[in-house]
């Protein structure tokens, strides 16, 4: 069964540095998402992406965040000038319509 893959599985970064989290969605999917889960809290929607542009974003997704689909396969989340509170598990998801398939997540630790 096709899967959403995310790299790296764990990223440790100094506060203030930029990070890029990478995702390879399922190949025939057209909708892409990023969610995050701060330890002990609920999974939160960050952003959805369709047709090479952001279709919806949450309040969390401020100017610090950006997404890109640089080629036909990757979908990236960039966090500029990371803060301690950005430490979380970040999940990428893709869908063909209404059913989301999630990746294993990237655990981001900000020191």
Partner 1 sequence: AQSVSQHNHHVILSEAASLELGCNYSYGGTVNLFWYVQYPGQHLQLLLKYFSGDPLVKGIKGFEAEFIKSKFSFNLRKPSVQWSDTAEYFCAVTNNAGNMLTFGGGTRLMVKP
**Interface with partner 1 includes 25 (CB under 8 A)?**
no
Q: What is the largest CA-CA distance in the chain?
A: 38
- Tell me the sheet residues that pair with 57: 47
Of 75-94, which residues contact partner 1 (CB under 8 A)? Answer: 91, 93
On whether the CB atoms of residues 79 and 65 are closer than 8 A, the answer is yes
- Window of 17-25, 55-63, 64-72, 74-82 that interacts with partner 1 by CB under 8 A: 55-63
**Interface with partner 1 includes 105 (CB under 8 A)?**
yes
Q: Among 44, 48, 47, which residue's Cα sits nearest to residue 31?
A: 48
Binding site for partner 1 (CB under 8 A): 31, 33, 35, 41-45, 48, 55-56, 58, 91, 93, 95, 97-105
């Amino acid at each position: 069964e096709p899967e959403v893959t995310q790299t790296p599985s764990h990223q440790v970064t100094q506060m203030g540095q930029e990070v890029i989290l990478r995702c390879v969605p399922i190949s025939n999917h057209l909708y892409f998402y990023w969610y995050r889960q701060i330890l002990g809290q609920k999974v939160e929607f960050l952003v959805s992406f369709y047709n090479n542009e952001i279709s919806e974003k949450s309040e969390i997704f401020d100017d610090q965040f950006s997404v890109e689909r640089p080629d036909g396969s990757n979908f990236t989340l960039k966090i500029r000038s990371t803060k301690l509170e950005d430490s979380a598990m970040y999940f990428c998801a893709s869908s063909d319509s209404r059913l989301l398939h999630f990746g294993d997540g990237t655990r981001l630790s900000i020191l």
